[in-house]
Amino acid sequence: MSEASKPSEEGSATPGPGERGAGFWRDPTKEADDARTLDELRPLIDKVDQDIVRLLNERAALVMEVGRYKRNSGVPIYAPHREQAVLAKVLEASGGPLPDQTIEAVYRELMSGSFALEQPLRIGYLGPKGTYSHLAATKQFGSSVSFEDLHEIGGVFTEVRRGHCDYGLVPIENSLGGGIVETLDAFRDSGIELNIYAEVLLAVHHSLLANCEPRDIKRIHSKPEVFSQCRQWLATQFPQAELVPAPSSSRAVQTAHAETLLEPERGAAAIGSTLAGQLYGMNVIFESIEDDPNNITRFFVISRQHTQRSGDDKTSMMFNTADKPGALVHVLRVFEEAGINLTHIDKRPSGRNNWQYTFFVDAVGHREDENMQSVIAALQEHCSDLVVLGSYPRAKRIL
């Protein structure tokens, strides 16, 4: 038995290397007779910080080598399957006391810095700055990449297709509001040219933002969908306030800030993200005011590239059924007989003929899996058009 793993005098084992922080971690709920003072602890923390910085730069040097290899071989800089593997390994290695969410956030920023070292990336998103799309993009890609504030979801598709942006992030569905029709239509119109590269899950928390006291608030700006998601809270807390619709929650925050500067007596406020408040100088009055705390928006990262298998993937497809009785039933039966689960199904008008629809489905598995390839081949019999929009790692955690 090694010294690191021998039982202590109290009969408990001291964590060895790789276990619970390599022996540094102590249970703060237990009193210790040998408790160290701040003067003793701070130099130890300084020493650990020096070690961390040294190791981070050693990692960065290796990343630069990886970048040179990728540029010479044409391998994509951002690889979602590799991202999933790295996060899984570091979370497995962590024994606390830091929560997984903190570890993941640190490593996402590390990977963001790695992108900058390998090759600067430009990410397009639905603007303006401060939207939940912007928030999702920064949480997914970190602060070391460049973000392109685009005005429409169709513009994100256009800029990625033209190569002006390396990747784009677009909302695809909300757990309360359902599918995002602008994104579905953009896939319908240009899906054959781009691929879904990754998916991102964002917990949507609305905040009331203002630069006055709550009792002075008379007008609240936000997107109509946001008002509906905070209806009960608003009816209870601000029943007399005027609700002013805006094209986006971010634009609402900008408008409220402008009113505050020009006409402070109007008591302007807005509902939006805390990021929007930081960007546009509005204070957070109340956080998490949404009626349903389980409000989640799913986003797709779109690219001109394909994603490799991660071992836990989804494949998204869109199709028009053949003009024959029971065509949709036959399509669904193909997935059933192959034992492939469908996690999402949606539809939009085809844009070609009245009462003809384009269907969108998410299936568990990767397009390169033998089972999925057989399904795609079998679907041709029952579909007049079939497009595989992409295969990508299934999102493991909510940002």
Q: What is the pLDDT of residue 76?
A: 84
Domain 121-203+295-305 sits in CATH 3.40.190.10: yes
pLDDT at 214 (0 to 100): 94
Q: Distance between CA atoms of 123 and 246, rounded to whole angstroms?
A: 25
**Where along the chain do its domains lie?**
49-118, 121-203+295-305, 207-286, 307-392
- Rounded to whole angstroms, how far apart are CA atoms 96 and 15? 12
Answer CATH for 207-286 from 3.40.50.1860, 3.40.190.10, 3.30.110.70, 3.30.470.20? 3.40.190.10
Residues 365, 315: contact at Cβ < 8 Å?
A: yes
DSSP string covering 220-270: EEE-HHHHHHTHHHHHHH-TTSEEEE-SSHHHHHHHHHHHHHH-GGG-EEE
- DSSP summary character for residue 379: H
What is the pLDDT tens value at each position of the chain, 399 positions in all? 444 444 443 444 434 444 444 445 555 555 555 688 888 899 899 999 999 999 988 888 888 888 888 888 878 888 888 888 888 898 889 888 998 888 888 888 888 888 878 778 899 999 889 999 999 999 999 888 899 999 899 999 999 999 999 999 999 999 888 889 999 999 988 756 899 999 999 999 999 999 999 999 999 999 999 999 999 999 999 999 999 999 999 999 999 999 999 988 889 999 999 999 999 999 999 999 999 989 999 999 999 999 999 999 999 999 999 888 888 999 999 999 999 999 999 999 887 777 788 999 999 999 999 999 999 999 999 998 899 999 999 998 898
pLDDT at 1: 43
Alpha carbon 170 to its chain centroid, in Å, reads 10
Are the C-beta atoms of 259 and 250 separated by less than 8 Å?
A: no
Q: Select from 142, 141, 159 the least CA-distant residue to 150.
A: 159
Q: Please report the pLDDT score of residue 3 as a whole number.
A: 43
Name the strand (E) or helix (H) holding 334: helix 327-338
What's the pLDDT score for residue 115? Answer: 80
Note the pLDDT of residue 60.
Answer: 85
Fold identical between 207-286 and 307-392? no
Angle subtended at Cα 92 by Cα 8 and Cα 90, rounded to the nearest 5 degrees: 110
**Six-digit token string for 312:** 């836990």
| Domain 49-118, CATH number (from 3.50.50.60, 1.20.59.10, 3.30.450.20, 3.30.70.360) | 1.20.59.10
Backbone φ, ψ for residue 182 (5° rounding): -60, -35
Distances (CA, A) of 240 to 126, 219, 225: 32, 9, 19
Provide the CATH topology of domain 307-392. Alpha-Beta Plaits (3.30.70)
Task: Extract long-range pairs of 72-76: CB within 8 Å, 24+ residues apart.
Answer: 76/303, 76/305
